[in-house]
Structure 1
């Protein structure tokens, strides 16, 4: 009898069963892990760009995750970037670089990046990028009088750059500067004819005074002493002629090396920009060290790994304001993600 009562009581007792924590759901474009991976990817892209300007994240278009095992996953990101005002040689951290405004004729970058997240550490396996300027029609529609980007080898542009650099060198007692590359050029025709140029420069082993005697003897400083800089200039052509120039040197930056496409000592432009309005963010890379990759174009040892903490179910539930069943994981935010600056 006692055995029967015990059995009846046992059946009536509630059964407590441990519910295993469900794994986090798929990543959304605005998820913190996606944002961290995108930030890492953008810094990588800027570190390996050799011409033009630094780019900042504008939007995550898409993110896909491919699990590879315990604490190992592959992330595929589609990123929209925007050109900043910082040249690639500028030591200013990206977070302090101003994104160029829409009316300055914005340039957009499109990148596909493949990363590995192994034990919370990110590494870039492959990346492919290109960039393009917004259409003239889009700019004129918003700002009819705004100057528009023109080809970097435009005759007026080359004249303005040459005049600006000659003017600076004639007014300084410091190092004689040589042109590295023209970064941007815009022309306004009405009501005043103006040419706006931006260009990267580097100090030589000559002073400006010494260069007057034999400019051909002036050579760029060796990598161990290199000193890069940047100039902006505005040349007024009509109704009055005028020239305003501002050049700044950044000082020596250990490890920073400029890689010209062709000889630019005489103001010649690298062939990659002939007939183009902006330096294309051409970056195509496969990590030769990673098992997920096959070809070798860029090493990755110079890029520091960044820790990424994956979401847990508890963290997700903590931010969920609505009461949910145990183990519920809300769906990720939709893709594409939020726009950080403006849409082109």
Structure 2
């Protein structure tokens, strides 16, 4: 009888079954909407904090890592490939309306590591590290043997050409006298005609063009609350005589938009950190002191990341070989790297 009562009592006790742990979320792919949104925010952040050169556009997401930090809190690490556009950083045109430079124009690529936080669904950039470089001359020549290549920004012909182009504009305009801020890029064509192609940023002064011709030293850039920046492109023929064809555009005053002046005399319009270089380096032009000082050490080590990726790939390959696949089965594509938006350098 006692045994029967014990069995009845046991039957009435709640049955606790082990609840299987929830499977980990699938890895975030480089082409997933979440990754694309984070990359877009990162690119805009980089452009907003760059002070020289051109805006960059996303070309490819190379890798994305997500590290949970607690409830509704994640940290994302992105590796991004960017391409230089034709919009100077002072140009108010939105990035989506800026044209990416073609491969034949001797493209410049940017490589960026960006750390973001996703807290309660709100993304914010914590830190970023970037550098940029021009494509190799050999790659350009292989595709386009006659295309002019990028020249160093302090090349004598380039400096002479920019001065001639700016004098040509100031000599013909009825507007404000323009001063050079910086040379953006330059290329030289040697055959069949010797031509210098230059692009440079300018700013309006408090002088008219006529006043500037008579006393250029008296002309000063407009104060910050009246500043008017612009951009010029020019083609200069040096033989048989110097002849400059120039087109300059002023953007009008843009509240909050400033130009970072160098800390030393650069009357030639060259920054101290671009002497001898062909392009403005994102590593030099972009800096976020607060984020970089506090968070630079928190970026995943490239060596560790490479080893973990290689190890994970080996394990996945082994599992793939052991698995029995039905006829016609195609494994899903790898989550990274993502698609190329423009072209690969």
- Establish whether TM, by shorter chain, passes 0.5: yes
Query: CA 1:160 to 1:262, structure 2 compared with 1: closer, same or farther past 3 Å?
Result: farther
The number of residues matched between the two structures is 294
Q: Name the CA distance, whole Å, in 1 between partners of 2:291 and 2:264.
A: 30
* Structure 1 residue 215, shift from structure 2 partner: 1.1
Match of 1:10 in 2: none
Q: Does residue 112 in structure 1 map to residue 113 in structure 2?
A: yes
1-side partners of 2:188 and 2:34: how far apart? 42
User: Tell me, what secondary structure is at the counterpart of 2:339?
Assistant: coil
Point out 4+ residue stretches in structure 1 off by more than 4 angstroms: 18-23, 262-265, 286-290, 330-333
The 3-state SS of whatever aligns with 2:238 is strand
Question: In the alignment, is the contact (CA less than 8 A) between 2:181 and 2:203 conserved in 1?
Answer: yes
Deviations for 1:141-185, whole angstroms, at most 9, x for unmatched residues? 000000000000000000000000011001011000000000000
Give 3-state SS (helix, strand or coil) of 1:28's partner: coil
Q: What are the superposed Cα offsets for residues 87-124 of structure 1, whole Å, 9 maximum, x if unpaired? A: 00000000000000000000000000000000111111
| Offset from partner CA, 1:241-277 (integer Å, 9 cap, x none) | 5321000000000000000224567324111110000
Is 1:132 the counterpart of 2:127? The answer is no
- Residues in 2 aligned to 1:144 and 1:91: alpha-carbon distance in whole angstroms: 35
1:140 and 1:70 map into 2 onto residues whose CA distance is 53
Tell me what 1:258 maps to. 259
2:225 partner SS: coil
Other-structure match for 2:274: 273
Give the aligned partner of residue 218 of structure 1.
219
Aligned to 2:300: none
Q: 2:93 matched to which residue of 1?
A: 92
Deviation at 1:237, TM superposition (A): 2.1
Query: CA–CA distance in 2 between the matches of 1:294 and 1:338?
Result: 27
Q: Are residues 262 and 232 of structure 1, via their aligned partners in 2, closer, same or farther at CA, if it must alter by over 3 Å?
A: farther
- SS of the residue corresponding to residue 26 of structure 2 reads coil
Mapped contact 2:27–2:335 kept (Cα < 8 A):
no
- Residue number among 292, 295, 298 corresponding to 1:293 in the alignment: 295
State the shift of 1:240 in Å: 6.3
Structure 1 residue 70: Cα displacement: 1.1
Contact 2:60 2:81 in 1 (8 A): yes
Q: In the TM superposition, what whole-angstrom CA distance separates every residue of 1:216-241 from its partner, at most 9, and x where no partner exists?
A: 11100011000000000001123565
User: Separation in 2 of the partners of 1:280 and 1:288?
Assistant: 19
CA deviation after TM superposition for structure 1 residue 209, in Å: 1.0
Q: Give the corresponding residue for 1:334.
A: 335
- In 2, Cα distance between equivalents of 1:19 and 1:135: 54
Query: What corresponds to 2:70 in structure 1?
Result: 69
Unaligned runs of 5+ in 1: 1-17, 296-329
Superposition map of 1:23-62 within 5 A: 24-62=25-63
Contact 1:128 1:285 in 2 (8 A): no
Partners of 2:126 and 2:290 lie apart in 1 by 5
Stretches of structure 2 lacking an aligned partner (at least 5 in a row): 1-18, 298-330
Distance 2:292 2:167 in 1: 47
Aligned counterparts, 1:182-201, within 5 A: 182-201=183-202
> Structure 1 residue 24: deviation in Å?
3.5
**8 Å CA contact 2:187, 2:198 repeated in 1:** yes
Q: Deviations over 1:288-317 (max 9, x none)?
A: 599x7389xxxxxxxxxxxxxxxxxxxxxx
- Higher-RCO chain (CA-CA 8 Å, sequence separation at least 6): 1
